Every structure is written in C-alpha cells, then in structure tokens.
Structure 1
Amino acid sequence: MSRYAASWETQDGFEVISLTDASSDSVAEIVPGVGNNLYRFESRGRQVLVPPASMYALRNENNATFMYGTPILFPPNRVMDGRIDFRGREYRLPLNEPPNRHLHGEICSRAWEVVEAGASDEQGAFVTSRFSYASYPELMAYFPHPLTFTVTVRLCDGRLEMSGTIVNEGEDEAPFAFGLHPYFSVPYGSGEEIELQVPAVAEWPVTNEAFVTDRPSVTDLSRALNEGVSIADYPVNGCSLLSLAGGDSTCRMVVKDRNYTIAYRFGPEFPYVVLFRPDWAAAYSLEPYTYVTDAFNLPYEHELTGARGIGAGETFRFSTGMWVE
C-alpha cells in the first residue's frame, strides 16, 4: 500500500482535494473552485498554513479569498487607479479596494479546472489544475490576452511543492506580474522567539500598503535578515519589500521555543519578496513576486522593478516548496 493518497470530498458545497503522506504525518488540502487555493498544510505535527474557518467563509466573507492559505495572484498587490500602461496600450482593471485601487487580481477567487490527480510511491500525491483567461469573457474584456495558468501541487517526503506554467496563447505581448501569498502559521504569544531568515540584498522603501516610494538600498534590515531577525514584535499590518540575491531563495521562520522551523523555497523567477503580518490571523506572509508593487506605474527602469511582458507563445515557469524542519 502506498504511503501517499489523493482523495476528494465536499465541504460546504465545494470540492476539496486532500493530499496525504502517511510517513511524515502530512496533509495538504486544495479547493479548485475558489482560486485553486492551497489553503491547508500540516506536517510533522505542525500547522504550516493558516486555513479559513470554513469553505463558506473563504467564498463569502469580504476579501477572504486572499486572506488565508495560499492565494495565487495576478497581478500581485495593488495597482493604483487600476491602470496599467504597457507598450502604448492602456489597461483598466476593476477597482476592488477603496478608494481607487485594484488588489491581487481575480484568479484567486475564480474556479479552476482539475486536470489530473493521483498518488504513487514515485510521484507522491499530486493534483494539477488549470485556469484559462479565454474561458472568462468578462476578464478578457479588460485584459484581452488568453493566458493559461497550469499549477501542480505535490506532496512528497513531507515536502509540499507548488510549480507551474503560464502560457500566452495569444498573438500579442501582455503585461505580466505574478505572485503567491502564503499565510504561514506563526504562534505569536508572550515570550515566543521567532526568527526570520531571508537572503535579501536590498530593501525598497514602501508605504504600509506596499507602494514603493523610492529606489532600493542596502539597509540594516536587509543585511540582518541574512543571519536572522526576530519577528515576534513585527508590527501588525506592517510590510517590507525586499530584493533577493538571485538563484533559488530559501527563507526560514525559526520557532525557537518550540524547536521547529518552517522553510519556504522559491526559484529565481521571483526576485522580490514582500513580508507582511496580517491583523486577522496568527500568521506571517512571505510573498514571492515577479515585480515590485505597481511596477508599471513607477518612474524607474523596468530592469530594476521587474515590470515586463509575456510574449506571444511564451511560457513562464515557476517553482516553490515548503516544509517543516
């Protein structure tokens, strides 16, 4: 009998896919019908991600689709006035955050299609899902590019991998900005010592809403994060934006008093990371991005900010992983 399993169940009317690894006491749950959210991951007796109270809450509470689990963001963070200018073309995204901003895109709330799921000793337990802009005329009306997102979540040897591709199946280059927003479960409390390690090379000055106010520079925080800094007293609703060293980046949250570490790895396709502590959950987010917030509207060179396009026929690939040490 395989140590791995992929199973289906219904919660609050939504299909949920569970991936299990008996040997490492690990379970991951994905809800394709609500943004393909990897909303739960527990491993080796530790809760890694903060889940919603229920599927009903994830679907119906205001903004809940990007407040728990692992929302998939396109574009990530905020776009001022919902406006993007790219290659001489203007895009107007819907304003979904008062007074005049677009926040986190729509694929984190839309239904995805399950392509394949299964389990074996060789492959672990996995599920592959797909989202196509071409299937949603209302999205194509303001972003007329048939992008197809394919994401595989795989649990193997206690490690949870999320990888995938984004393909531009159209005939025109599209503005491109992609990110993930995992909410890691962090046991804040009296006397807890929690250390964060990030391979940062510079910090961007930002507002509390992650809007960039100047060019990046080497700071005390960006230097210290390489060795580890305490986040036990990181300000609630505070955020930081960092440029990374390049190559694969592995960040760690070390919960010293409880003797375990949550590790999060992502590839060089994500050269930036946002740090964020929400006020609605005992969580801390490490958000890998392909660009800095609202990069298309910044007065800096695109090579610095990550503002870029995805060409006709081009495929963007990404890979991340999380585990408990």
Structure 2
Amino acid sequence: MGKYRAGTELKEGFSIIKLTDEGSRSSAELLPAIGNNLYRFTCGGYEVLVPPANLTSFSLESDEVFKYGTPLLSPPNRVRKGQFIFKGRAYKLPLNEPPDHHLHGEICAKAWEVIAYGASEEEGAWVTSQFRYAEHPEIMAYFPHKLVFTMTYRLWDGRLDLEGGITNEGVEEAPFAFGLHPYFAVPFGSGEEISLRIPAAAEWPVTNQAFVMGTPEVSAFSQGLLEGVPIDNYPLLGCSLISMGQAADRTCRIDMKNRDYTIAYQFDQIFPYVVLFRPDWASAYSLEPYTYVTDAFNLPYEHELTGARGIRAGEHVRFTTGMWIEKRGGAAHG
C-alpha cells in the first residue's frame, strides 16, 4: 500500500471524503453534502483549518456554513439589498442576511456531486466534485445561467492544492464573482507572536461588512504587509480589503514566530483581491481570495478597478490555490 489514500468515511451520518498522505503526516476531509466544504486539513501534525465542533451544526444552523473550514463563495461577501444590474438585466438575490443583504451565495450550503477520487504515487490523493446551477431551480429562478463548478482537491507531499474550473454552459453572458473563505487555525490569545505577510499593492477603505467606501490607495498597512505586520491584536470581526501586487507568486503567509511554523496560502492571478477577516467565534484568521471587490456590480467605479466582469457563453475560467505548512529550522511541507 502506498503512502497516499483517498476514500469515503461515515461521520455523524455524513459521507465524507478523506485524503491522506502518510509521508508528511497530512490529511484533508471534505464534506460534499454541504457546500463541498474542505472543513479540515492537518499537515505535519499542525491543524491548518478550523473545523466545526460537529458536522451536524452545518445543517442545523443556516449561517454555520459560512463559519468553518473552507466555504466556496459565489458571489463572495455581500450584495447590498441583494440587487444589481448586469448587461441590462436586473438580478434580485435572496436576502439570506436579513434584513438587507445577500451573503456569500448558495453553493457553500448545497450538496455537490462527487465525480471521482483516487490515490497514486504519481498523482497523490485527490477528489473531484461538481455543482451545476441547472440542477437547482431555486437558484435558476433568480440567476438564470447554467454555470458549472468543478473542483479537484489534491494532497501531495504535504501540500493541498485546489484545481478549479467554472464553465458557462448557457447561451448568455453571466455576471461572474467567485471567492474562497478558508478559516486558518491561528492561536490568538496564547501569547504567540503572529504576523501576516502578503504581496499587497494597495488597501481599499471598507466598512466592517467589507463594503467599499472609496478607491484603493497605498497605505502604511498595505506597505507593511510586504514584510510582515503583527496581527495578534487584529480586532474581532475586523476586516481589510487588499489589492494584490503584480508578482507572479501570490503566496500569503501567517507566521507563528514563537512556535517556528508558518501557514502558507497561495492563489493565482484570477484573484486580484484578498479580504482579511478575524471571526469572533473561533481562534482563526481568514485570507479570502476574491475575483472582485465586495458588491462590485453596484459600485460607481470602472470594472477594471473592481473586478466586476462576466463569464461568456461557453467560457471556462480556471483557477488554482494551494496551502501548506512551512516549519522553520526543519523540513517544509509543500
């Protein structure tokens, strides 16, 4: 038997997919039934993501699907009043953050279909899942576009990669907005010195709900992120919106300086923006890559600045992310 394994397990009545890499003492657990949530990832003995206390809470409490693991977001963050106009068509999304806003879309709460999974020395341990809007009439009623999301998580040598694709199988251009919301396990309140490094270019002025209040500027915070800024005292429920620089390597790092390890998170050029967020319900910190800034279709700025765009009929958008642990003074995973 090789060091990689992929298989199904039954946990709390849910069928999960577990990927294992014995060589790096790493494993990943995916919950296809609720948003295809990558709810747990451990690497080299470290918890990388914060899982829920139990899986049942995902299905019993509507907002729990946003709070743990790695929710998949379309559209990411809030849409004011749930309304916007794209290419002359008015869209009205459900107000799932009453009374005023639509929050994070529905693909993070719906069941996904597992297409295939497997493991080998050449390919690591992997699983491919898919979500089709056309199979959900309740979504098509307010968003009449046949988008197909296909995601492959792959664990190889201690690194967990996501290879994703979004295809418009419809006949009309659709508004396009996608993001991820990983909750990285960060030991706040333990006396740990924690710092954050991001290849940032500028900072947007935003409210505590990440609504944009102006155009981005180079700030002391965005400049400091290049070398590392302390986040030990980052405010609970605080958020920041950062435009990424033009560097090809978009790896962000959360450094636990006393414990001599780093959580590394990498995403590609499809995501020009990252939202930083500290929840008040878990010892976690989120780095959320977005294809657009919050509520971009309602902003009075050029779409090239905000990332507001469409996905044309027949178009296929690809993206990749990766996460791993780097151990200083020892072997690095990933």
TM-score range, shorter chain: over 0.9
Q: Which residue of 1 aligns with 2:321?
A: 320
TM-score, normalised on structure 2?
0.96
Q: Counterparts in 2 of 1:115-194, with a 5 A limit?
A: 115-194=115-194
The residue aligned with 2:39 is: 39
Amino acid paired to 1:239: C
Instruction: Give ranges in structure 2 of 5+ residues lacking alignment.
Output: 327-334
Q: Tell me, what secondary structure is at the counterpart of 2:226?
A: coil
Q: Equivalences for 1:216-255 in 2 at 5 Å?
A: 216-246=216-246, 247-255=248-256
* Secondary structure at 1:257 match in 2: coil
Q: Which amino acid aligns with 1:87?
A: K
Q: Look up the equivalent residue of 1:213 and give its one-letter code.
A: M
Structure 2 Cα separation of the partners of residues 34 and 12 of structure 1 = 13
Q: Give a deviation string over 1:250-278, Cα, whole Å, max 9, x none.
A: 00000011110000000000000000000
In the alignment, the residues of structure 2 paired with residue 129 and residue 234 of structure 1 have an alpha-carbon distance, to the nearest angstrom, of 35
* Matching of residues 103-122 of structure 1 within 5 Å: 103-122=103-122
Counterparts of 1:68 and 1:75, CA distance in 2: 18
* Offset at residue 248 of structure 1 (A): 3.5
**Letter of the aligned partner of 1:318 in structure 2?**
F
Tell me how far apart the structure 2 counterparts of residues 162 and 111 of structure 1 sit (CA, whole Å).
Answer: 18
* 2-structure distance, mates of 1:248, 1:146: 32
Q: Deviations over 1:135-157 (max 9, x none)?
A: 01111010000000000000000
> In 2, are the aligned partners of 1:180 and 1:288 still within 8 Å (CA)?
yes
- Aligned positions, number: 325
Q: Deviations over 1:80-101 (max 9, x none)?
A: 0100200000000000112210
* C-alpha distance in 1 between matches for 2:190 and 2:26: 28
TM-aligned CA deviation for residue 163 of structure 1:
1.4
- Mapped partners of 1:59, 1:155: distance in 2: 27
The residue that corresponds to 1:30 in the other structure is 30
**Correspondences of 1:9-24 after superposition (within 5 Å):** 9-24=9-24
One-letter code of the match for 1:82? Answer: G
Q: TM-score, normalised by structure 1?
A: 0.99
Q: Give 1:9 shift.
A: 1.0
SS in 1 for 2:258: helix
State the 1:7 CA deviation. 1.6
CA RMSD of aligned residues (A): 0.7
Query: Residue 190 of structure 1: CA displacement?
Result: 4.0
Hey, what's the Cα distance between the residues in 1 that align with 2:107 and 2:226?
Answer: 33
Query: What is the one-letter code of the residue matched to 1:307?
Result: A
Deviations 1:121-168 (A, max 9, x none): 000000000000000111101000000000000000000001110000
Instruction: Extract structure 1 runs of 4+ deviating beyond 4 A.
Output: none
Asked if 1:3 is matched to 2:7, the reply is: no
Deviation at 1:14, TM superposition (A): 1.3
Are the equivalent residues in 2 in contact too, given 1:82–1:102 (CA < 8 A)?
yes
**Distance (whole Å) between structure 2 residues aligned to residue 98 and residue 129 of structure 1:** 30
User: Take 1:57 and 1:163, find their aligned partners in 2: how far apart are those partners?
Assistant: 28
Aligned-residue offset at 1:57: 1.0
Q: Does the 8 A contact of 1:152 with 1:164 survive in 2? A: yes
Match status 1:273 vs 2:274: yes
Q: Aligned partner of 1:304: which letter?
A: L
SS at 2:305's partner residue? helix
Structure 1, unpaired ranges of 5+: none
- Once the two structures are superposed, residues 90-117 of structure 1 have per-residue CA deviations (whole angstroms, 9 ceiling, x without a partner) of 0000001122100000000000000010
Matched residue SS, 1:274: strand
CA contact (8 A) 1:248 1:268 kept: no
The alignment-based identity, stated in percent, is 64
